[in-house]
Structure 1
Amino acid sequence: MTAADQPRDGAGGAGTGALLDRARGQALDLFHSAWSATPATVRRWALAAVIVNAGIAVTGAAVRLTGSGLGCPTWPRCTPDSFVPAAHDAHSPLNMAIEFGNRLLTFLVLAVAVGCVVAVMRVAPRRSSLVYLAWIQPLGVAVQALWGGVVVRTLLNPVTVSVHFLLSIGMIAAAFALYARSGEGDQPPRRLVHRDIRTLGFVLVAAVLALLIAGVVVTGTGPHSGDEAASRFGFDIQSVARLHADAVWVVLGLTFALLFALHVTDSPGRARRGALILLGVELAQGVIGYVQYFLAVPALLVGLHVLGSTLVWIATLRVVYLMRSRGPAGAPFTGENLLDAAGV
């Protein structure tokens, strides 16, 4: 080694040390954001829960779309003799790595879930409504992990795979409820729009949920099973795809009706913008859906369609929460809105 080389090595070591110090500092900041929580950090943890639950739903679909659904053929081990990927005659190293990587992401979702619980337990004043919602996250992760074992042990039966995705949809809803509630007070809900418009919002949520269920039936009937050993629903693919498309048009019609009603009644701008964003997301999702159908469902477009379905779900929930108020964050319960909360 020459003298000219030494400064560069020293600089490299200093750079590595700086990166480690920065990572350590960020980890401490993350810990303190939960342990010394404020209403703002609770809201950020809830948003993180929405993101990671949506993310693992998409990565779970990627596992199936790459044919890696049984890359780890056992559960909780990856192979009969190992918790981590090991040489296995029936599965390629790449498929095993993809499936095992998705399993590891469960620990990220769990870490965020624990962060949510710690934050709502440590924030002052503690709000029981947030505590209940936060505890859904780690309990839901446990249920999802156990159900993942059922999926593997049933060789990717389309029913168990469909339930696995729908559990993620439920987790997203609970996480978004935590996010929305952490940014408002504990007053009884006060409608910001006409009662019938609020009812239309609830109908739209039910329609989107039905659309998601129809979507998993199409997925369970289509070609991307996740593994050659996986079974499929025995439906005619064109019939279920057509049914799914009909549900799309129903959701689009309801969304347009909601947007129109919000505008003609001069409803709050946030609710109108939320409905407009929802309509835009739905239109983009519809374009992807039709394109993937006519291109014989290429894996990449199917993955984008799964991402779009989670975004449609989140945007729908957001609109419903924007049509009512519980007062500003920190506002105490007064009872003055009880008549409005009861719909009087």
Structure 2
Amino acid sequence: MTGPAGPARTIDGVKLPTDHPHPLVRGLLSFWAPTAASMRGWALASVVVNAGIAVTGAGVRVTGSGLGCPSWPRCTPDSFIPVPHPETSMLNMFVEFGNRLLTFLVLAVGVACVLSALRLVPRRRSLVLLAWLQPVGILTQALWGGLVVNTMLNPFTVGMHFLISTGLIAACWMLYARAGEGDGPVRRVTHRDIRRLGHVLLAAVFVLLVAGVTVSGTGPHSGDERASRFDLDIETMARLHADLVYIVVGLTFALMFALHIGNSKGPARRAAATLLVVELAQGVIGYTQYFLAVPAALVLLHVLGSTLVWIAALRVVTSLRTRTPQPDHSPTEVPATV
């Protein structure tokens, strides 16, 4: 038999919102009384939503809805919400407007990360700084989105929109990784040169993403028939992109071999193996879309794959070092009495 439930945790007699009986509500309100585990949970949620909006942004482009809302910050010159417009179909307008609304979800998760970092006890300056990068970066993205619209989907501004998202995802992933560590000195889990190889691999993946953005800015899916394109040869750019893929895959094989020879710990080896699997799947998608004349659905899937490759590469780098783990406790926990 169990005794009566203890009194709910309180601050100055006020019941905490994180004592709500429904687990989903408790999870959503966990930023108010965070633990190291819930801090990581919010950081992981930020990785997911930032990756998600990068993919839905590509969905706006491949559906030809890039100028569905022809003005910014209003959807039309006279309205913040979609209304009939002579130059734009309502379907395209709703697609673009829906993607704009997702920004508020991403911002809400970013604010939750900031509150979690500020209320975590003991407060950790490294987490606070990484958490603040999210709302700042999201607002920067929103302003850049206005520039994308005002430049009529110029391929440079569209490409930078995606690359800013990759920077935000990196910041979110580092918050996730650091939330599971302490603030002590970095300890390598493998040889120094292997860790350097991991950094070279991450840099190569980023260059690959830049090349992919250039191919997209040269290809057929501009987001709107009025949008401009890079004045480059699409065949040449596609071959260059494929060459970079071979380099990235080769570096991944080299890293896996080095980790095996160096008898490195399991997490690093699993992270490298996962990256290779994602790269190979992405390669299959890329070649398939090339030979099928770049259908919109496969372009969207390819953008998702690019985002997953980036996250997997970030995971590889953070698996090559560690710090003293951070104890998991809540700011309102009271020591047990006997």
Q: Same fold (TM over 0.5)?
A: yes
Q: Note the residue ranges of structure 1 that are not aligned, 5 or more in a row.
A: 1-22, 332-344
> Does 1:288 pair with 2:285?
yes
| Deviation for aligned residue 1:152 | 0.2
| Deviation for aligned residue 1:27 | 6.8
Aligned residue number for residue 144 of structure 1: 141
Aligned residue number for residue 199 of structure 1: 196
The separation in 1 between residues aligned to 2:36 and 2:265, in whole angstroms, is: 24
Aligned residue number for residue 313 of structure 1: 310
Deviations 1:121-146 (A, max 9, x none): 01111100000000000000100000
Aligned residue number for residue 135 of structure 1: 132
Deviations 1:275-307 (A, max 9, x none): 001000000001100110010000000000000
2:116 aligns with one of 114, 119, 124: 119
| Deviation for aligned residue 1:25 | 4.8
Secondary structure of 2:29 counterpart: helix
Aligned residue number for residue 154 of structure 2: 157
Aligned residue number for residue 97 of structure 1: 94
Secondary structure of 1:246 counterpart: helix
Q: Choose between structure 1 and 2: higher helix proportion.
A: 1
The separation in 2 between residues aligned to 1:227 and 1:237, in whole angstroms, is: 18
Letter in 2 for 1:44: G
Secondary structure of 1:156 counterpart: coil
Greater displacement, 231-240 / 320-329: 320-329
| Deviation for aligned residue 1:30 | 4.0
2:104 aligns with one of 102, 107, 114: 107
The separation in 2 between residues aligned to 1:24 and 1:160, in whole angstroms, is: 47
Q: Note the residue ranges of structure 2 that are not aligned, 5 or more in a row.
A: 1-19, 329-338
Deviations 1:242-269 (A, max 9, x none): 0000000000000000001101111001
Superposition pairs of residues 76-91 of structure 1, within 5 angstroms: 76-91=73-88
> Does 1:53 pair with 2:50?
yes
Against the structure 1 CA distance between its residues 258 and 32, is the aligned structure 2 distance closer, same or farther, given a 3 Å change threshold? same
The separation in 2 between residues aligned to 1:32 and 1:242, in whole angstroms, is: 49
* TM-score, normalised with respect to structure 1: 0.88
| Deviation for aligned residue 1:115 | 0.3
The separation in 1 between residues aligned to 2:131 and 2:246, in whole angstroms, is: 35
> Does 1:175 pair with 2:172?
yes
Greater displacement, 32-41 / 322-331: 322-331
1:259 aligns with one of 252, 256, 260: 256
The separation in 2 between residues aligned to 1:47 and 1:188, in whole angstroms, is: 23
The separation in 1 between residues aligned to 2:169 and 2:85, in whole angstroms, is: 35
Letter in 1 for 2:327: G
Letter in 2 for 1:193: T
Residue correspondences, number: 309
| Deviation for aligned residue 1:28 | 4.1
> Does 1:37 pair with 2:40?
no
| Deviation for aligned residue 1:330 | 3.3
Calculate the aligned-residue CA RMSD, in Å. 1.4
Secondary structure of 2:325 counterpart: coil
- Give me the identity figure in percent: 67
Contact 1:186 1:330 in 2 (8 A): no
> Does 1:222 pair with 2:219?
yes
The separation in 2 between residues aligned to 1:173 and 1:28, in whole angstroms, is: 28
| Deviation for aligned residue 1:32 | 2.7
Aligned residue number for residue 331 of structure 2: none
Contact 1:151 1:161 in 2 (8 A): yes
Secondary structure of 1:284 counterpart: helix
Secondary structure of 2:26 counterpart: helix
> Does 1:239 pair with 2:236?
yes
Superposition pairs of residues 202-213 of structure 1, within 5 angstroms: 202-213=199-210
The separation in 1 between residues aligned to 2:289 and 2:23, in whole angstroms, is: 41
Letter in 1 for 2:153: L
* TM-score, normalised with respect to structure 2: 0.90
Secondary structure of 2:260 counterpart: helix
| Deviation for aligned residue 1:183 | 0.6
| Deviation for aligned residue 1:85 | 0.1
Contact 1:221 1:234 in 2 (8 A): yes
| Deviation for aligned residue 1:156 | 0.2
| Deviation for aligned residue 1:62 | 0.1
The separation in 1 between residues aligned to 2:183 and 2:81, in whole angstroms, is: 46
| Deviation for aligned residue 1:187 | 1.0
